Amino acid sequence: MALTCNIDARGKRTRLISGILQLIVAVCVAALWAWPTGFRLAWIIASALAIGGAFTVFEARAGWCVLRAMGMKTRI
């Protein structure tokens, strides 16, 4: 499946900012909660945030939105 551009510059900017914020929150969760406690749920949450943030940054760089590719309409 080819990744054809389906978002404009505003959508790319929004996804990039959102992805970077998710990555920052993932690092904070890992550093402040998961690492000191070793709690498994904390590591799962930090990992999910990191994976989601990385995918959102990928969407911004590729100009492609998975929701729009599946036919859903997004505001941005």
pLDDT in tens, 6-38: 999 999 999 999 999 999 999 999 999 999 999
Question: Domains of the chain: which residue ranges?
Answer: 9-69
Q: How many CB atoms lie within 10 A of CB 62?
A: 15
- Asked whether residue 1 carries a pLDDT value surpassing 70, the answer given is no
pLDDT in tens, 39-65: 999 999 999 999 999 999 999 999 999
